[in-house]
């Protein structure tokens, strides 16, 4: 026992902090996209089934493992598993409860930093189009992250780096202040603000008038498509959403629960955390982004926005919508601060297990633990920010933010129900409980949850890892407008001719093959004459790096035609695009991603080895003679 271990100041503080842990960017952006693309209202059937068969049971399991570990002074999974497992190896399995949160915060704080950056850009009006400057929000976002080979809006990574440093700094201040004076205080300030911002944004969206109405958006989101219910991928999507939204598998819920006193309730606290998270997700998550897209883009284009992905909805479509209406500085800031606070309360939660490990197991003082965590955090962030364009963030997300979580959850349910034993585990869960957990959850925890988790894990390995091509890194090809700020229009895609489309696919593959062969990046710079009639003429072309020998004007022309490219301008915001005559400088890039993907894997493997070493050291030095 470590009697000086911290504890929560109040039950409400704990619940707000735990809800803050669960409520993240995914609630407001990922949920509506997933629902819209997987059967609309009918998506709620698998979603609620998954919530009941493994979402809520896993919340209870995590809180039980956490409070049990906390009783012995452990705030992270190695110590918790050591106390519940029957083997001296159990603590080493718990290394995942350090590696995953560490790798997760490395990229999640970067996303958090984008939100902080965009809140600032909203306040200063930086992404507003002025008579002197055209701001294409997609290019703006890509330049902010240094993905684009151009610099119309941001010269390099200075802005993104500065916001990341501020974000990591804010996280460390909260973690340094400790559980009650840091995390709990943050939750008490940030969570009411988060709710207030949600309400403000919902009212804003419902009162907007444009191409369509907000009701059309709600209609689009909720119209059930029952034909999708037989589709395995829809069930997998629902399961994945429940997983991410409740923050299962990071070890952060367990860590928060470890600061709950032995005889205090966890059964109702865990359920309330899930309920609060669902409230923000299902009610506010569906009320903001998709209805806003319906108002601005019209009913016909919501599908395109909904399927454009989490970041595209948040960082490209939402500012596009908000800047078309009055008081962008206010609602833009509110929107991005909402995302920022949602992310902030999650990132401190996910980082806390590592802090707790340093303090509880390595017996570090809080300043010392803060110092080492900051050092590791900043060091690991460098590749994420520098090599974002090579997919480092996506790779870390696959291992630490997707696959690893299902592995941890599966281990935890087996540990709880089968190794520690359901009867004892159930007793732990119920001790001090303010509610009686219904007995039908016993067979669910024993059989249904483990099977469901195993299926999710297998599904992710197969669909994302194997079929999605995550396991074998490939060079990536992208087309950019050079100096986009000088052009009022954008390059848009229209459905191309089939034969030409095949040529374009072959050309892109050829570019990838060249990069793989040369083990280097490549670029094609071209000056292209686009015609209002859809014609394309390459006037000049120049190849660099791996694509030095691919600078063939005719082939590039066919590639552009085959990928359906044409230059279009809008007559006014919200009006349709029309093709116009224009000479546009284009850049085709191919990024050789392999070394960077392996660098990301190196971070996962390297941090695992480091933490394994620290566990071995801690147990040899401090836990050799533990009290049973």
Can you tell me which of 64, 258, 272, 589 binds another protein, judged by CB under 8 A?
Answer: 272
Dihedral pair phi/psi, residue 539, rounded to 5°: -90, -30
Q: Which region, judged by CB under 8 A, interacts with another protein, from 99-107, 267-275, 494-502, 556-564?
A: 267-275
- Shortest gap between Cβ of 217 and another protein (angstroms)? 10
In this chain, which stretch among 279-287, 394-402, 420-428, 572-580 interacts with another protein, using CB under 8 A? Answer: 279-287
Q: What is the nearest approach in angstroms of another protein to the Cβ of residue 379? A: 41
Q: How far is the CB of 425 from another protein (least distance, A)?
A: 22
By CB under 8 A, is residue 222 in contact with another protein?
A: yes
SS (H, E, C) 135-183: CCHHHHHHHHCCCCCCCCCCCCCHHHHHHHHHHHHHHHHHHHHHHHHHH
Tell me which residue of 339, 342, 307, 293 sits closest to 118, measured CA to CA: 339
Site membership for another protein, residue 347 (CB under 8 A): no
In this complex, which beta carbon is closest to another protein, that of residue 33 or of residue 319? 33
In the complex, minimum distance from the CB of residue 270 to another protein, in angstroms, rounded to a whole number: 10
Query: Would you say 299 or 457 has its CB closer to another protein?
Result: 299
Cβ distance 208 to 295 under 8 Å? yes
Please list the alpha-helical segments (H only) found in 207-251: 214-222, 232-245
Instruction: Kindly tell me which residue out of 271, 364, 457, 536 binds another protein, with binding defined by CB under 8 A.
Output: 271
Q: Considering the rule CB under 8 A, would residue 224 count as an interface residue with another protein?
A: yes
Phi, psi of 250 (to 5 degrees): -85, -20
Nearer residue to another protein within complex by CB, 274 or 504: 274
String of contacts with another protein for each residue 105-124, x by CB under 8 A: --------------------
44 binds another protein (CB under 8 A): yes
Q: Does 279 bind another protein (CB under 8 A)?
A: yes
Q: Which is it for the CA torsion 394, 345, 404, 440, positive or negative?
A: negative
Residue 299 in the binding site for another protein (CB under 8 A):
no
Asked if 97 contacts 353 with a C-beta cutoff of 8 angstroms, the reply is: yes
Torsion of CA 65, 70, 76, 80, to 10 degrees: -50
State how far the Cα of 222 lies from the Cα of 511, in Å rounded to an integer: 42
The helix/strand/coil state of 539 is strand
588: Cβ contacts below 8 Å, ≥ 6 apart: 477, 478, 479, 480, 511, 523, 524, 526, 547, 556, 559
Of 226 and 232, the one with the shorter C-beta distance to another protein is: 226
The CA distance from 238 to 38, in Å, is 8
* Interacting residues of 490 by C-beta distance below 8 A, sequence separation 6+: 136, 138, 481, 484, 567, 568, 577
Q: Kindly state the smallest distance separating residue 278's Cβ from another protein, in Å.
A: 5
Q: How many Å apart are CA 382 and CA 364, to the nearest integer?
A: 25
Q: Which stretch binds another protein (CB under 8 A): 271-279, 391-399, 482-490, 578-586?
A: 271-279
Which residues ranging from 14 to 43 are in contact with another protein (CB under 8 A)? 40-42
Sign of CA pseudo-dihedral 129, 133, 139, 141: negative
Contact 435, 471 (CB under 8 A): no
Binds another protein by CB under 8 A, chosen from 25, 201, 246, 282: 282
Rule CB under 8 A: choose which of 7, 189, 215, 379 binds another protein: 215
User: Cβ of residue 229: shortest distance to another protein, in angstroms?
Assistant: 13
Q: 525 - beta bridge partners?
A: 542, 587
Residue choice 27, 276, 345, 449 for contact with another protein (CB under 8 A): 276
Among 49, 200, 218, 407, binds another protein (CB under 8 A): 218
Binding-residue pattern over the window 401 to 440 for another protein, x denoting contact by CB under 8 A: ---------------------------------xx-----
As a whole number of Å, the end-to-end CA separation of the chain is 11
Q: How far apart, in whole angstroms, are the C-alpha atoms of residue 72 and residue 67?
A: 9
Is the Cβ of residue 221 or residue 253 nearer to another protein in the bound state? 221
- Which one of the spans 96-104, 264-272, 300-308, 321-329 is the region binding another protein (CB under 8 A)? 264-272
- Of the listed pieces 157-165, 211-219, 512-520, 530-538, which binds another protein according to CB under 8 A? 211-219
275 makes contact with another protein (CB under 8 A): yes
Number of residues counted as binding another protein (CB under 8 A)? 26
Q: Which residues sit at the interface with another protein, rule CB under 8 A?
A: 11, 40-42, 44, 48, 215, 218-219, 221-224, 268, 271-272, 274-276, 278-279, 282-283, 286, 434-435
């Amino acid at each position: 026992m470590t009697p000086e271990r911290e504890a929560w100041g109040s039950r409400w503080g704990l619940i707000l902090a735990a809800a803050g842990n669960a409520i993240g960017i995914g609630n407001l952006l990922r949920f509506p996209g997933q629902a819209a693309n997987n059967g609309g209202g009918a998506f709620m059937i698998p979603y609620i089934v998954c919530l009941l068969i493994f979402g809520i049971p896993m919340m209870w399991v995590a809180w039980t493992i956490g409070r049990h570990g906390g009783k012995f002074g452990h705030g992270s999974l190695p110590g918790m598993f050591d106390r519940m497992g029957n083997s001296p190896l159990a603590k080493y399995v718990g290394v995942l409860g350090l590696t995953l949160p560490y790798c997760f915060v490395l990229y999640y704080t970067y996303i958090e930093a984008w939100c902080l950056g965009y809140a600032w850009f909203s306040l200063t009006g930086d992404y507003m189009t002025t008579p002197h400057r055209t701001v294409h929000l997609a290019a703006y976002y890509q330049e902010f992250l240094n993905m684009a080979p151009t610099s119309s809006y941001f010269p390099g990574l200075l802005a993104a780096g500065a916001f990341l440093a501020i974000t990591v700094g804010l996280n460390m201040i909260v973690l340094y202040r400790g559980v009650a004076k840091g995390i709990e205080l943050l939750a008490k300030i940030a969570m009411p603000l988060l709710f207030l911002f949600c309400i403000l944004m919902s009212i804003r969206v419902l009162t907007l008038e444009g191409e369509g109405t907000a009701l059309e958006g709600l209609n689009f989101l909720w119209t059930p498509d029952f034909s999708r219910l037989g589709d395995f991928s829809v069930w997998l999507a629902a399961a994945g959403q429940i997983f991410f939204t409740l923050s299962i598998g990071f070890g952060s819920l367990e860590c928060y629960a470890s600061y709950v006193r032995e005889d205090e309730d966890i059964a109702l606290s865990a359920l309330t955390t899930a309920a609060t998270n669902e409230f923000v997700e299902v009610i506010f998550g569906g009320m903001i982004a998709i209805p806003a897209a319906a108002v601005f883009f019209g009913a016909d284009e919501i599908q395109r926005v909904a399927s454009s992905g989490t970041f595209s909805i948040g960082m490209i479509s939402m500012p596009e919508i908000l800047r078309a209406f009055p008081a962008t500085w206010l609602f833009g800031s509110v929107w991005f601060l909402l995302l920022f606070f949602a992310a902030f309360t999650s990132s401190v939660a996910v980082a806390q297990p590592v802090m707790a490990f340093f303090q509880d197991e390595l017996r570090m003082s809080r300043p010392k633990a803060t110092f080492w965590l900051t050092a590791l955090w900043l060091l690991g962030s460098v590749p994420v920010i520098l090599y974002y364009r090579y997919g480092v963030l996506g790779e870390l997300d696959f291992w630490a933010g997707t696959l690893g979580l299902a592995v941890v959850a599966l281990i935890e349910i087996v540990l709880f129900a089968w190794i520690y034993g359901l009867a004892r585990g159930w007793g732990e869960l119920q001790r001090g409980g303010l509610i009686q957990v219904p007995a039908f959850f016993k067979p669910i925890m024993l059989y249904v949850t483990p099977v469901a988790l195993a299926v999710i894990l297998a599904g992710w390995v197969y669909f994302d890892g194997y079929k999605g091509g995550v396991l074998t890194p490939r060079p990536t090809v992208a087309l950019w407008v050079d100096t986009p700020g000088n052009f009022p229009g954008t390059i848009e895609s229209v459905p191309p001719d089939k034969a030409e489309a095949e040529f374009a696919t072959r050309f892109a593959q050829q570019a990838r093959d060249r990069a793989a062969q040369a083990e280097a990046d490549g670029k094609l710079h071209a000056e292209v004459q686009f015609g209002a009639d859809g014609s394309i003429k390459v006037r000049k072309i120049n190849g660099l790096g791996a694509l030095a020998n691919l600078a063939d004007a005719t082939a590039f022309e066919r590639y552009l035609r085959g990928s359906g490219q044409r230059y279009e301008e809008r007559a006014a915001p919200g009006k349709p695009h029309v093709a116009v005559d224009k000479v546009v400088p284009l850049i085709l890039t191919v990024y050789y991603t392999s070394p960077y993907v392996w660098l990301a894997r190196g971070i996962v493997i390297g941090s695992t080895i480091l933490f394994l070493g620290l566990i071995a050291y801690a147990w040899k030095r401090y836990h050799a003679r533990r009290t049973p």
